[in-house]
Structure 1
Amino acid sequence: MKAKTLAALAATTALAALGSAAAAQQYTIGITQNNVGVDSYQTTYEQAFIAAAEANDDVQVVVLDAGGDVARQIAQIEDLIQQQVDAMIIWPTNGEAVIPAVRKAFQEDIPVVITNSNIAEQGFDFIRSFSGPDNITQGQRAAEIMCDRFTEMGIEDEAQIVQISGQPGYTTAIERAQGFEERLPEVCPNVTLVETQPGDWNREKSQQVMEAFLVKYDDIDGVYSGDDNMGVGALNAARAADRAGDIVFVGATNFAVGYEAMEAGDYWGSIYQSPVDDAEAALQTALDILNGEDVPFLNYFDTPKITQDNMGEFTKPVF
């Protein structure tokens, strides 16, 4: 009789444990990214996002890549809605074009987190949070880096610079250029920005853009690029033309190639930003929202200045 009671108790305990496991909250989170193959930052971001999800037993993820195609991303958002994911993370291909699809997710009560590059302000009512860097601040800090260097060189009243921006229509590109262009005349009012052309986050295209700048302008004292991938493309063009030693190169989002060029003394400064932090913050922001926690609408992580003077304080980027 006692053995039967113990057996019954054990069975009851096992059933209770199974019931508890079944009741444990597990979320499905979908992510559609901008263009994973275009640069090492986005590739590393995806790897870090998947690793963070695999380390968390409470989440399953659907990982998609738009390949830089707005129409494809809109279709992916609609597909995630059809799958009834619990939350959605979007790295927008275009900050305005995705808004109607984001509105559909909002109407289906799917919380949306925008990652890395924000959507246009008219879509803010349809998202729960932005997780990523403050790109305007990055542009401002890059302008300060460049102005400080010109001041050290004694050319702050005569320097001429060119800018290589990111993908047209892409919020990060717009904001980094905006921050730079607004801050530069405040700190170095006599520095002249003579021209801006897009490099589309692509090193080879940026090299071609810089080649054209070098032909067009005999006097270029500085180059600001929206990220180091493009900045190194510009540096390569200047090296080929034997003009690299005369130009101050400043970027944003410090890539490994930018760090190495700084070590070599060819590239002056950038903004330190980790794709691993970026990816982990996006996933955690979505989970915090699903768990009912308060999350800032603009959930920024810090991106400090890095130059040849202080680069020893920073670990070489993994991307």
Structure 2
Amino acid sequence: MRPSVRRSLGVLTAAVSSAALLTACGSGSESAAGGDSSITLGFVNGANTEFHTCLQRAIASEAKASGVEVLTANSNQNPGTELSNIEDMISRQVDALIVQTVNVDALEGDIAKAKSANIPIFLTSVVAKDTTDILGAVVVDLPGEGKLNSDWVAEDAAGAQVKAGVIAGAPGAASDLLIKGFTDALPANVTVVANQPGMFNRTKAQEVAENMIQAHPDLNYLFVANEEMAFGALNAFQAANASVKIVTMNGTDAGLVAIKEGKFSATVANSPTTTGTMAVRNTLALLKGEKIEKIAQSPIKLITKENAGEAPAYCLES
């Protein structure tokens, strides 16, 4: 079990909208947990990006505030490791599982394994098509995030014929939904001329961007599946003295600074603090049989220089 993290009420207030709180906690986290220290949750994380780290921090913080124990494991973007982690949590007899999957295709096996052990499974960020056998989920509208960036590009291009590049994350994971949301919503005047995975890694994304600059020196826009990779891409374009408008997502502190300085044109705020907090509260409420939404939405928001001050807090203080 990882060390507990002190809860910051000020940050949580900024991070979770009133509507999300009403959906997530019903009568509040103390009520949802019932102060029952005998409850143990298992959290299986998908990777070690800043999003995943902050998601785990929020889950640990809310579990502590709710008076329950949480055990954690990380699958490091490996579906096989994810299933092994779930099996380990089952052997440790957790009362419920919270899973940030590495791959939507892995969910079927994850859900079946939890069901066979009679352990409720709660999903974060994405959800299986068939929700019959899950306790619930806090879902991020990943196609919607892509579409918000696409809408910004469409408005900025104003009908001109322009070229766009895409740096995806890891194939088969949430990145696919983000990219599809972006590319499907683009108007006909925007042509995607390059689409390569950056594997959610800054160095890899920089290499991908360098290749794009060589192949398409007249690129107008670049859509990047997270801010960490976007900074790698930015390094490549700055080194080549090339100009491109970068749109991305996360809403981290560093990302917001880049927005304010004009290095990124737009980002979509998707707070793991909000998602993690809601995940624990909703899991506990559903375990008690409270009537709340089984599939809840974590809010997203397009952020530009004009509204950068409205972005929710991304991560709790350690």
- TM-score category, normalised to shorter length: 0.7 to 0.9
Alignment correspondent of 1:26: 38
Structure 2 residue 318 is matched with structure 1 residue 311:
no
User: Which of these residues, 138, 160, 165, is aligned with residue 157 of structure 1?
Assistant: 160
Structure 2 residue 103 is matched with structure 1 residue 94:
yes
Going from structure 1 to structure 2, the CA distance change for 1:205 and 1:118 (only over 3 Å counts) comes to: farther
Q: Give SS of 2:41's match.
A: strand
Alignment correspondent of 2:47: 35
Alignment correspondent of 1:135: 142
> Whole-Å Cα distance in 2 between the matches of residues 316 and 268 of structure 1?
19
Alignment correspondent of 1:193: 192
User: Which of these residues, 234, 255, 264, is aligned with residue 252 of structure 2?
Assistant: 255
Measure how far apart 1:86 and its partner are. Answer: 1.3
Instruction: Report if aligned partners of 1:102, 1:127 keep a CA contact under 8 Å in 2.
Output: yes
Measure how far apart 1:318 and its partner are. Answer: 4.3
- Report the residue type matching 2:278 in the other structure: A
> Whole-Å Cα distance in 2 between the matches of residues 105 and 211 of structure 1?
44
- Report the residue type matching 2:42 in the other structure: G
Structure 2 residue 58 is matched with structure 1 residue 51:
no
> Whole-Å Cα distance in 2 between the matches of residues 305 and 117 of structure 1?
20
> Whole-Å Cα distance in 1 between the matches of residues 298 and 312 of structure 2?
17
Alignment correspondent of 1:62: 71
Alignment correspondent of 2:280: 283
Measure how far apart 1:255 and its partner are. Answer: 2.3
Instruction: Report if aligned partners of 1:142, 1:271 keep a CA contact under 8 Å in 2.
Output: yes
> Whole-Å Cα distance in 2 between the matches of residues 56 and 280 of structure 1?
10
List gaps (5 residues or longer) in structure 2: 1-34
Instruction: Report if aligned partners of 2:272, 2:314 keep a CA contact under 8 Å in 1.
Output: no
Q: Report the TM-score when normalising by structure 1.
A: 0.83
User: Which of these residues, 256, 266, 270, is aligned with residue 269 of structure 1?
Assistant: 266
Measure how far apart 1:125 and its partner are. Answer: 3.2
> Whole-Å Cα distance in 1 between the matches of residues 312 and 118 of structure 2?
41
Higher mean alpha-carbon deviation, 94-103 vs 134-143, is at 94-103
Q: Percent identity?
A: 26
Q: Give SS of 2:106's match.
A: coil
- Report the residue type matching 1:267 in the other structure: F
> Whole-Å Cα distance in 2 between the matches of residues 43 and 25 of structure 1?
24
What is the count of residue pairs matched by the alignment?
282
Measure how far apart 1:163 and its partner are. Answer: 0.5
Q: Give SS of 1:126's match.
A: coil
Instruction: Report if aligned partners of 1:90, 1:113 keep a CA contact under 8 Å in 2.
Output: yes
> Whole-Å Cα distance in 1 between the matches of residues 157 and 252 of structure 2?
23
- Report the residue type matching 1:49 in the other structure: I
Q: Give SS of 2:122's match.
A: strand
> Whole-Å Cα distance in 1 between the matches of residues 132 and 205 of structure 2?
36
> Whole-Å Cα distance in 2 between the matches of residues 258 and 314 of structure 1?
11
Measure how far apart 1:109 and its partner are. Answer: 2.3
- Report the residue type matching 2:190 in the other structure: V
> Whole-Å Cα distance in 1 between the matches of residues 38 and 314 of structure 2?
33
Larger of the two Rg values belongs to structure: 1
- Report 1 or 2 for greater relative contact order, CA contacts < 8 Å, sequence distance ≥ 6: 2
> Whole-Å Cα distance in 1 between the matches of residues 82 and 306 of structure 2?
41
Q: Give SS of 1:157's match.
A: coil
Instruction: Report if aligned partners of 2:166, 2:195 keep a CA contact under 8 Å in 1.
Output: yes
Q: Deviations over 1:30-56 (max 9, x none)?
A: 1110012xx222112212211211122
Going from structure 1 to structure 2, the CA distance change for 1:279 and 1:192 (only over 3 Å counts) comes to: same
> RMSD in angstroms over aligned alpha carbons?
1.9
Instruction: Report if aligned partners of 1:211, 1:238 keep a CA contact under 8 Å in 2.
Output: yes
Alignment correspondent of 1:178: 180
